[in-house]
Amino acid sequence: MGGLFTGIALDSAGHDVTIAEQSAGDLRSRGGGIVAQQSIRQFLSRHDIVDPANITTRASERRFLTADGDVRTSTPDSMVFTSWDAVYRQLRAAFPDDRYHTGQTVTGVRATDGTVTFSDGDRTTADLVVAADGGQSTARAQLFPDADPEFADYVAWRGVVSEAELSDAVIDAFDGRFTFYQGEQMLILAYFIPGEDGNTAPGDRRLNWVWYDTLSGRERETIFTDTTGTSQQFSVSPGQLRDPVESHQRERAAETLPPVFTDLVATTAAPFVQAIYDLQSPQMTVDRVCLVGDAAFVARPHTAAGTSKAASDAVELKAALDRHSSLGGALASWDDARTDYGARLVAQGKRMGDERLSLGS
Model confidence at 360, pLDDT cuts 50, 70, 90, reads very low
The answer, yes or no, to whether residue 30 has pLDDT greater than 60, is no
Beta strands in the chain (DSSP E): 19-21, 33-35, 57-65, 71-83, 100-102, 106-110, 115-118, 123-125, 129-131, 150-162, 177-183, 186-193, 206-214, 235-236, 272-280, 285-286, 289-291, 297-298
Average pLDDT over residues 82-94: 96
**CA gap 150, 299 in Å, rounded:** 11
The 10s digit of each residue's pLDDT in 141-187 is 999 999 999 999 999 999 999 999 999 999 999 999 999 999 998 99
Model confidence at 27, pLDDT cuts 50, 70, 90, reads low
The answer, yes or no, to whether residue 91 has pLDDT greater than 70, is yes
**CA gap 238, 158 in Å, rounded:** 9
Residues of the chain with pLDDT > 70: what percent? Answer: 97
* pLDDT on residue 219: 87
Average pLDDT over residues 271-293: 96
Type of residue numbered 236: V
Instruction: Supply φ then ψ for residue 127, to 5 degrees.
Output: -65, -35
Q: Which domains does the chain have, with CATH numbers?
A: 54-81+150-277 (3.30.9.60), 103-137+281-356 (3.50.50.60)
Q: Which residues contact 140 (CB under 8 A, 6 or more apart)?
A: 131, 133, 147, 281, 291, 295, 296
Q: Which residues contact 70 (CB under 8 A, 6 or more apart)?
A: none
**CA gap 187, 285 in Å, rounded:** 36
**CA gap 345, 361 in Å, rounded:** 18
SS3 readout for 75-102? EEEEEEEEEHHHHHHHHHHHCCHHHEEE
Predicted TM-score (pTM) of this structure: 0.94
Average pLDDT over residues 87-93: 96
* pLDDT on residue 55: 97
Collapse the DSSP code of 249 into the 3-class scheme (helix H, G, I; strand E, B; otherwise coil) and give the result.
helix
The answer, yes or no, to whether residue 190 has pLDDT greater than 70, is yes
Average pLDDT over residues 100-125: 95
* pLDDT on residue 357: 65
Neighbours of 94 (CB within 10 A): 17
**CA gap 126, 147 in Å, rounded:** 25
Instruction: Supply φ then ψ for residue 136, to 5 degrees.
Output: -105, 40
The 10s digit of each residue's pLDDT in 196-238 is 989 999 999 999 999 999 987 778 999 999 999 999 999 999 9
* pLDDT on residue 359: 54
Look at 260 and 24; give whichever has higher pLDDT.
260
The 10s digit of each residue's pLDDT in 324-356 is 999 999 999 999 999 999 999 999 999 999 876
